[in-house]
Structure 1
Amino acid sequence: METDRLIMRRWQETDREPFAALNADPEVMEHFPAQLTREQSDAMVDRIESAFDEHGYGLWALQIRATGEFIGFTGLAWQTFEAHFTPALEVGWRLARSAWGYGYASEAARAALDYGFGPAGQAEIVSMTAAANLRSRAVMERLGMVRDPADDFTHPRVPAGDPPAVLYRISRDAWR
Protein backbone atom coordinates (compact mmCIF):
# COMPACT_ATOMS: atom_id res chain seq x y z
CA MET A 1 0.00 0.00 0.00
CA GLU A 2 1.06 3.56 -0.51
CA THR A 3 0.04 6.89 0.94
CA ASP A 4 1.09 10.34 -0.21
CA ARG A 5 4.44 10.05 1.58
CA LEU A 6 4.80 6.43 2.67
CA ILE A 7 5.11 2.90 1.36
CA MET A 8 3.49 0.25 3.57
CA ARG A 9 4.92 -3.14 2.67
CA ARG A 10 5.91 -6.58 3.85
CA TRP A 11 9.12 -6.85 5.81
CA GLN A 12 12.56 -7.30 4.26
CA GLU A 13 15.75 -8.67 5.80
CA THR A 14 17.26 -5.18 5.59
CA ASP A 15 14.54 -3.89 7.97
CA ARG A 16 15.74 -6.01 10.86
CA GLU A 17 18.75 -3.93 11.88
CA PRO A 18 17.00 -0.52 11.95
CA PHE A 19 13.98 -2.14 13.62
CA ALA A 20 16.22 -3.58 16.34
CA ALA A 21 17.75 -0.12 16.87
CA LEU A 22 14.26 1.39 17.15
CA ASN A 23 13.22 -1.29 19.69
CA ALA A 24 16.38 -0.64 21.74
CA ASP A 25 15.76 3.12 21.90
CA PRO A 26 14.65 4.05 25.45
CA GLU A 27 12.62 7.01 24.19
CA VAL A 28 10.72 4.97 21.59
CA MET A 29 10.09 2.20 24.14
CA GLU A 30 9.23 4.52 27.05
CA HIS A 31 5.65 3.23 27.34
CA PHE A 32 6.47 -0.46 26.87
CA PRO A 33 7.52 -2.85 29.64
CA ALA A 34 11.09 -3.04 28.30
CA GLN A 35 13.36 -2.35 25.38
CA LEU A 36 13.89 -5.33 23.08
CA THR A 37 17.11 -7.17 22.41
CA ARG A 38 18.10 -7.89 18.81
CA GLU A 39 16.84 -11.46 19.23
CA GLN A 40 13.48 -10.28 20.61
CA SER A 41 13.15 -7.73 17.83
CA ASP A 42 13.90 -10.35 15.16
CA ALA A 43 11.36 -12.70 16.75
CA MET A 44 8.77 -9.90 16.55
CA VAL A 45 9.45 -9.50 12.83
CA ASP A 46 8.97 -13.27 12.43
CA ARG A 47 5.61 -13.08 14.26
CA ILE A 48 4.53 -10.11 12.14
CA GLU A 49 5.38 -11.98 8.94
CA SER A 50 3.51 -15.07 10.19
CA ALA A 51 0.42 -12.90 10.75
CA PHE A 52 0.63 -11.69 7.13
CA ASP A 53 0.76 -15.31 5.99
CA GLU A 54 -2.25 -16.16 8.14
CA HIS A 55 -4.49 -13.12 7.58
CA GLY A 56 -3.20 -11.41 4.45
CA TYR A 57 -2.51 -8.21 6.40
CA GLY A 58 -0.62 -7.14 9.47
CA LEU A 59 1.88 -4.60 10.73
CA TRP A 60 3.32 -3.15 7.53
CA ALA A 61 6.92 -1.97 7.44
CA LEU A 62 6.93 1.78 6.79
CA GLN A 63 9.24 3.37 4.30
CA ILE A 64 9.43 7.04 3.32
CA ARG A 65 8.65 7.20 -0.40
CA ALA A 66 11.05 10.05 -1.17
CA THR A 67 14.11 8.51 0.49
CA GLY A 68 13.41 4.78 0.90
CA GLU A 69 14.22 5.07 4.61
CA PHE A 70 12.68 2.42 6.90
CA ILE A 71 11.01 4.21 9.84
CA GLY A 72 9.04 1.52 11.72
CA PHE A 73 5.63 -0.04 11.31
CA THR A 74 1.94 0.74 11.21
CA GLY A 75 -0.87 -1.69 10.66
CA LEU A 76 -3.33 -4.20 11.99
CA ALA A 77 -2.80 -6.94 14.55
CA TRP A 78 -5.18 -9.35 16.21
CA GLN A 79 -5.14 -9.10 20.00
CA THR A 80 -6.23 -12.32 21.68
CA PHE A 81 -4.98 -11.90 25.26
CA GLU A 82 -7.71 -12.19 27.88
CA ALA A 83 -9.63 -8.92 28.24
CA HIS A 84 -13.25 -7.78 28.09
CA PHE A 85 -12.85 -6.59 24.47
CA THR A 86 -10.80 -9.41 22.92
CA PRO A 87 -10.42 -10.90 20.45
CA ALA A 88 -10.11 -7.57 18.64
CA LEU A 89 -8.29 -6.16 15.65
CA GLU A 90 -5.95 -3.37 16.73
CA VAL A 91 -4.45 -0.58 14.66
CA GLY A 92 -0.99 0.20 15.96
CA TRP A 93 2.31 1.87 15.13
CA ARG A 94 5.89 2.17 16.30
CA LEU A 95 8.14 4.69 14.61
CA ALA A 96 11.78 5.63 14.98
CA ARG A 97 12.30 8.80 16.99
CA SER A 98 13.61 10.56 13.86
CA ALA A 99 10.18 10.05 12.25
CA TRP A 100 8.12 11.60 15.06
CA GLY A 101 6.27 14.85 14.53
CA TYR A 102 5.68 14.53 10.77
CA GLY A 103 2.22 12.94 10.84
CA TYR A 104 3.48 9.62 9.49
CA ALA A 105 1.71 7.53 12.16
CA SER A 106 -1.65 9.19 11.43
CA GLU A 107 -1.17 8.96 7.66
CA ALA A 108 -0.29 5.27 7.73
CA ALA A 109 -2.94 4.44 10.35
CA ARG A 110 -5.62 5.97 8.10
CA ALA A 111 -4.54 3.62 5.31
CA ALA A 112 -4.55 0.68 7.73
CA LEU A 113 -8.06 1.56 8.93
CA ASP A 114 -9.24 1.82 5.31
CA TYR A 115 -7.89 -1.69 4.79
CA GLY A 116 -9.38 -2.98 8.04
CA PHE A 117 -12.85 -1.70 7.26
CA GLY A 118 -12.55 -2.49 3.55
CA PRO A 119 -10.83 -5.70 2.43
CA ALA A 120 -10.49 -7.10 5.98
CA GLY A 121 -14.23 -6.54 6.52
CA GLN A 122 -14.12 -5.53 10.17
CA ALA A 123 -17.01 -3.80 11.96
CA GLU A 124 -14.80 -2.32 14.70
CA ILE A 125 -11.10 -1.67 15.24
CA VAL A 126 -9.43 -0.78 18.53
CA SER A 127 -6.19 0.80 19.61
CA MET A 128 -4.58 0.75 23.04
CA THR A 129 -1.68 2.30 24.89
CA ALA A 130 -0.39 3.27 28.30
CA ALA A 131 -2.43 6.11 29.76
CA ALA A 132 0.70 8.29 29.87
CA ASN A 133 1.44 7.84 26.14
CA LEU A 134 -0.03 11.17 25.08
CA ARG A 135 1.54 11.07 21.59
CA SER A 136 -0.18 7.82 20.63
CA ARG A 137 -3.42 8.92 22.26
CA ALA A 138 -3.33 12.08 20.13
CA VAL A 139 -2.97 9.93 16.99
CA MET A 140 -5.97 7.82 18.07
CA GLU A 141 -8.04 10.95 18.58
CA ARG A 142 -6.96 12.44 15.22
CA LEU A 143 -8.21 9.20 13.64
CA GLY A 144 -11.64 9.75 15.22
CA MET A 145 -11.24 6.91 17.71
CA VAL A 146 -13.11 7.31 20.98
CA ARG A 147 -12.10 6.31 24.50
CA ASP A 148 -14.60 5.22 27.13
CA PRO A 149 -12.86 5.24 30.55
CA ALA A 150 -14.97 2.19 31.45
CA ASP A 151 -12.89 0.30 28.84
CA ASP A 152 -9.57 0.96 30.61
CA PHE A 153 -7.97 -2.35 31.48
CA THR A 154 -4.97 -4.04 33.02
CA HIS A 155 -2.83 -5.31 30.19
CA PRO A 156 -1.56 -8.83 30.97
CA ARG A 157 1.87 -8.07 29.46
CA VAL A 158 2.48 -5.02 31.66
CA PRO A 159 4.08 -5.33 35.09
CA ALA A 160 1.71 -5.52 38.06
CA GLY A 161 1.12 -2.16 39.65
CA ASP A 162 1.41 -0.16 36.42
CA PRO A 163 -1.52 2.14 35.62
CA PRO A 164 -4.31 0.68 33.47
CA ALA A 165 -4.05 0.84 29.70
CA VAL A 166 -6.51 2.97 27.76
CA LEU A 167 -8.59 1.57 24.92
CA TYR A 168 -9.90 3.54 21.96
CA ARG A 169 -12.42 2.25 19.43
CA ILE A 170 -13.84 3.17 16.07
CA SER A 171 -16.63 1.49 14.12
CA ARG A 172 -16.90 1.10 10.37
CA ASP A 173 -19.87 3.48 10.37
CA ALA A 174 -17.94 6.14 12.30
CA TRP A 175 -14.97 5.74 9.94
CA ARG A 176 -17.09 6.43 6.88
Structure 2
Amino acid sequence: MAAKKILENKRFFLRELTIEDVTELGAILQDEETMYAYEAPFTKEKVQEWLHWNLTSYEENGFGLWAIIDKATQHFIGQCGIVYSEVEGEKLLEIGYLVNKRYWNQGYASAASCLCLNYAANYLKAERICSIIRDTNLASQKVASKNGLQVIQTFYKDYSGQPVKHLVYSIDLTTYKKRKW
Protein backbone atom coordinates (compact mmCIF):
# COMPACT_ATOMS: atom_id res chain seq x y z
CA MET A 1 0.00 0.00 0.00
CA ALA A 2 1.40 3.38 -1.01
CA ALA A 3 1.93 6.05 1.62
CA LYS A 4 -0.70 8.78 1.71
CA LYS A 5 0.32 11.86 -0.27
CA ILE A 6 -0.57 15.06 1.61
CA LEU A 7 0.73 18.10 -0.30
CA GLU A 8 2.75 18.85 -3.39
CA ASN A 9 4.25 21.50 -5.60
CA LYS A 10 5.95 21.19 -8.98
CA ARG A 11 9.22 19.96 -7.47
CA PHE A 12 8.30 17.58 -4.63
CA PHE A 13 5.50 16.11 -2.58
CA LEU A 14 4.93 15.51 1.11
CA ARG A 15 3.62 12.10 2.12
CA GLU A 16 3.10 10.25 5.36
CA LEU A 17 6.15 8.48 6.72
CA THR A 18 6.06 4.69 6.78
CA ILE A 19 8.02 2.03 8.64
CA GLU A 20 10.01 1.54 5.42
CA ASP A 21 11.41 5.08 5.79
CA VAL A 22 13.44 4.20 8.88
CA THR A 23 16.77 3.96 7.02
CA GLU A 24 16.36 7.28 5.17
CA LEU A 25 15.09 8.94 8.32
CA GLY A 26 18.03 7.50 10.24
CA ALA A 27 20.45 9.03 7.72
CA ILE A 28 19.17 12.43 8.85
CA LEU A 29 18.46 11.88 12.54
CA GLN A 30 21.72 10.00 13.16
CA ASP A 31 23.90 12.59 11.44
CA GLU A 32 25.89 14.64 13.95
CA GLU A 33 26.06 17.78 11.80
CA THR A 34 22.33 17.76 11.04
CA MET A 35 21.33 17.04 14.64
CA TYR A 36 23.51 19.63 16.40
CA ALA A 37 20.36 21.54 17.34
CA TYR A 38 19.31 18.50 19.38
CA GLU A 39 22.72 18.34 21.09
CA ALA A 40 23.45 14.86 19.69
CA PRO A 41 22.52 12.52 16.88
CA PHE A 42 19.77 10.01 17.61
CA THR A 43 20.39 6.37 18.41
CA LYS A 44 18.68 3.70 16.30
CA GLU A 45 16.14 3.31 19.10
CA LYS A 46 15.45 7.06 19.14
CA VAL A 47 14.93 7.04 15.35
CA GLN A 48 12.34 4.26 15.82
CA GLU A 49 10.64 6.28 18.58
CA TRP A 50 10.59 9.39 16.35
CA LEU A 51 9.01 7.42 13.51
CA HIS A 52 6.37 5.87 15.77
CA TRP A 53 5.66 9.28 17.35
CA ASN A 54 4.79 10.55 13.86
CA LEU A 55 2.66 7.52 12.98
CA THR A 56 0.76 8.06 16.23
CA SER A 57 0.35 11.76 15.43
CA TYR A 58 -1.25 10.87 12.07
CA GLU A 59 -3.79 8.69 13.89
CA GLU A 60 -4.50 11.09 16.75
CA ASN A 61 -4.23 14.49 15.04
CA GLY A 62 -4.52 13.80 11.31
CA PHE A 63 -1.08 15.32 10.72
CA GLY A 64 2.57 15.01 11.72
CA LEU A 65 5.95 15.28 10.07
CA TRP A 66 5.79 14.09 6.46
CA ALA A 67 8.45 12.76 4.11
CA ILE A 68 9.70 15.22 1.47
CA ILE A 69 10.04 13.27 -1.78
CA ASP A 70 11.63 14.78 -4.89
CA LYS A 71 9.30 14.16 -7.85
CA ALA A 72 12.04 13.80 -10.47
CA THR A 73 14.29 11.40 -8.56
CA GLN A 74 11.93 9.94 -5.93
CA HIS A 75 14.69 10.63 -3.37
CA PHE A 76 13.81 11.05 0.30
CA ILE A 77 14.93 14.64 0.93
CA GLY A 78 13.87 15.03 4.55
CA GLN A 79 10.81 15.64 6.63
CA CYS A 80 8.52 18.59 7.14
CA GLY A 81 5.11 18.87 8.68
CA ILE A 82 2.92 19.99 11.51
CA VAL A 83 3.07 18.73 15.09
CA TYR A 84 2.04 19.80 18.55
CA SER A 85 4.91 20.98 20.74
CA GLU A 86 4.95 22.18 24.31
CA VAL A 87 6.63 25.45 25.27
CA GLU A 88 6.61 26.35 28.93
CA GLY A 89 3.38 24.43 29.56
CA GLU A 90 1.57 25.73 26.46
CA LYS A 91 0.62 23.38 23.61
CA LEU A 92 1.54 25.02 20.29
CA LEU A 93 0.92 24.01 16.71
CA GLU A 94 4.36 23.88 15.09
CA ILE A 95 5.88 23.51 11.65
CA GLY A 96 9.04 21.44 11.89
CA TYR A 97 11.56 20.42 9.27
CA LEU A 98 14.79 18.49 8.92
CA VAL A 99 16.48 18.03 5.56
CA ASN A 100 19.26 15.60 4.68
CA LYS A 101 22.43 17.71 4.49
CA ARG A 102 23.00 16.58 0.88
CA TYR A 103 20.01 18.80 0.02
CA TRP A 104 20.73 21.83 2.19
CA ASN A 105 20.51 25.28 0.57
CA GLN A 106 18.28 24.06 -2.24
CA GLY A 107 15.04 25.59 -0.97
CA TYR A 108 13.36 22.38 0.21
CA ALA A 109 12.78 23.50 3.82
CA SER A 110 11.43 26.92 2.77
CA ALA A 111 9.08 25.52 0.15
CA ALA A 112 7.89 22.56 2.25
CA SER A 113 7.23 24.73 5.29
CA CYS A 114 5.31 27.17 3.08
CA LEU A 115 3.10 24.29 1.92
CA CYS A 116 2.52 23.46 5.58
CA LEU A 117 1.60 27.08 6.35
CA ASN A 118 -1.01 26.95 3.60
CA TYR A 119 -2.28 23.61 4.92
CA ALA A 120 -2.56 24.90 8.49
CA ALA A 121 -4.38 28.06 7.38
CA ASN A 122 -6.73 26.53 4.81
CA TYR A 123 -7.28 22.94 5.87
CA LEU A 124 -6.76 22.96 9.65
CA LYS A 125 -8.24 26.48 9.98
CA ALA A 126 -5.56 27.19 12.59
CA GLU A 127 -5.33 30.76 13.87
CA ARG A 128 -1.62 30.64 14.64
CA ILE A 129 1.36 28.40 13.98
CA CYS A 130 4.97 28.54 15.09
CA SER A 131 8.42 27.10 14.51
CA ILE A 132 10.63 26.42 17.51
CA ILE A 133 14.26 26.98 16.57
CA ARG A 134 17.52 26.82 18.46
CA ASP A 135 19.07 30.29 18.78
CA THR A 136 22.22 29.19 16.91
CA ASN A 137 20.35 27.55 14.00
CA LEU A 138 20.62 30.45 11.56
CA ALA A 139 19.51 28.42 8.52
CA SER A 140 16.20 27.44 10.14
CA GLN A 141 15.71 30.99 11.39
CA LYS A 142 16.13 32.18 7.80
CA VAL A 143 13.48 29.70 6.62
CA ALA A 144 11.01 30.89 9.25
CA SER A 145 11.63 34.57 8.46
CA LYS A 146 11.34 33.95 4.72
CA ASN A 147 7.89 32.49 5.33
CA GLY A 148 6.76 35.49 7.37
CA LEU A 149 7.18 34.11 10.89
CA GLN A 150 8.55 36.44 13.54
CA VAL A 151 10.15 35.82 16.94
CA ILE A 152 7.60 36.18 19.73
CA GLN A 153 9.33 34.37 22.60
CA THR A 154 12.57 32.83 23.84
CA PHE A 155 12.82 29.91 26.24
CA TYR A 156 15.26 27.23 27.35
CA LYS A 157 14.74 23.59 26.46
CA ASP A 158 16.57 20.94 28.46
CA TYR A 159 18.62 18.41 26.52
CA SER A 160 20.05 15.88 28.97
CA GLY A 161 20.65 18.42 31.71
CA GLN A 162 21.82 21.17 29.36
CA PRO A 163 19.46 24.16 28.99
CA VAL A 164 19.55 25.32 25.38
CA LYS A 165 18.10 28.66 24.22
CA HIS A 166 15.33 28.45 21.62
CA LEU A 167 13.31 31.04 19.74
CA VAL A 168 9.60 30.72 19.06
CA TYR A 169 8.79 32.10 15.62
CA SER A 170 5.08 32.58 14.96
CA ILE A 171 2.59 33.85 12.42
CA ASP A 172 -1.06 34.87 12.64
CA LEU A 173 -2.83 32.67 10.10
CA THR A 174 -6.06 34.66 10.21
CA THR A 175 -4.37 37.36 8.14
CA TYR A 176 -2.01 35.06 6.25
CA LYS A 177 -2.14 35.18 2.47
CA LYS A 178 -1.60 31.86 0.69
CA ARG A 179 1.78 31.73 -1.02
CA LYS A 180 3.07 29.60 -3.88
CA TRP A 181 6.38 27.78 -4.02
Calculate the TM-score normalised by the size of structure 1.
Answer: 0.91
Of 61, 75, 78, the residue aligned with 2:81 is 75
- Bigger relative contact order, structure 1 or 2, given CA contacts below 8 A and separation 6+? 1
Give the match's secondary structure for 2:20: helix
Partners of 1:94 and 1:161 in 2: CA distance: 21
Unaligned runs of 5+ in 2: 1-6
Calculate the TM-score normalised by the size of structure 2.
Answer: 0.89
How many residues are treated as equivalent by the alignment?
171
- 1:62-101 maps to which residues of 2 (within 5 A)? 62-80=68-86, 82-83=87-88, 86-101=90-105
Matched, 1:113 2:117: yes
4+ aligned runs moved over 4 Å, structure 1: none
Of 43, 49, 59, the residue aligned with 2:65 is 59
Give RMSD over aligned pairs: 1.5
Please report how far the alpha carbon of residue 156 of structure 1 lies from its aligned counterpart in structure 2 after TM superposition: 3.8
Give the match's secondary structure for 1:122: coil
Equivalent residue, structure 2, for 1:34? 40
Richer in strand (by share): 2
- Does the 8 A contact of 2:25 with 2:47 survive in 1? yes
Residues 2-53 of structure 1: per-residue CA shift (max 9 Å, x gap)? 1121110011233110111211111101111221011210111111011011
Equivalent residue, structure 1, for 2:107? 103
Unaligned runs of 5+ in 1: none
Give the match's secondary structure for 2:148: coil
Equivalent residue, structure 1, for 2:3? none
Give the match's secondary structure for 1:74: strand
